[in-house]
Amino acid sequence: MKIAVLASGSGTNLQNLITQLHTDKNCHIEIAVVISDRKNAYALQRAKHAGIPQEIIRSQHFRDRVEFDNAIAKKIQDYDVDLIVLAGYMKLFQPPFVRQFRNRIINIHPSLLPAFPGANAVADTLAYGVKVSGVTVHFVDEGVDTGPIIAQAAVPVYDGDDEETLHQRIQIEEHKLYPEVIKKYAQEKIKIQDHNVVTIK
Ligand code: GAR
């Protein structure tokens, strides 16, 4: 299976997918391309180091967000990708892109959705004062972090946590969960019915 990883930032999830999937020839999962909307994203360096093609597609070069998404869709098709994996990609897709790739886009989010959607999940978690948080992997739909949930893992929130300490604890779980989900997807063991996802063991 070929995947595209979209990342806007440092790319620790990308690095983990390179190590656990791309370079493990037994997995048969290839990261065909890494796409970023930010030219300075460290994720691009990680891709370069691993010999994976990188594409920079910046929203400011397009008339509107639909055209921007179309440019991404074109690359996805050029690289003949089966699954679009968002790993710290901080832009929202417009409905036509979601429709075009329905049930073929997954995202990882640093909270237990539906709690704390959006771009500041870890800060919002701490501000609210919940005692348990975690990570969610979900299909992307037209909403903001509202798509069908594939898998979740919980982490405790400790007194005295700040954004960095809590995010680090969440990322340990992200790095376990995301490769597991992608492997299951490749094995066609993830079944989606309306808003419910069943994963075959
Ligand atoms: C991850 O923690 C991911 O859950 C989060 O961005 C981080 C990227 O880390 N995504 C979102 O907040 C999406 N709303 P990374 O660049 O080290 O992989």
* Catalytic site includes residue 28: no
Whole-number pLDDT of residue 143: 97
- Regions of the chain short of the pLDDT cut 50: none
pLDDT at 194: 87
Residue-averaged pLDDT of the chain: 98
Q: CB of 134 closer than 6 A to ligand 1?
A: no
Q: What is the pLDDT of residues 138-171, one digit of tens each?
A: 999 999 999 999 999 999 999 999 999 999 999 9
34 lines ligand 1 (CB under 6 A): no
Which parts of the chain are beta strand (E)? 2-6, 30-36, 54-56, 83-86, 105-109, 132-139, 149-156, 190-193, 196-199
CB of 9 closer than 6 angstroms to any ligand 1 atom: yes
Q: Which atom of ligand 1 is nearest to the CA of 117?
A: 14
List 109, 138, 167, 175, catalytic entry? 109
Q: Is 11 in the pocket of ligand 1 (CB under 6 A)?
A: yes
Residue 13 CA: which ligand 1 atom is closest? 18
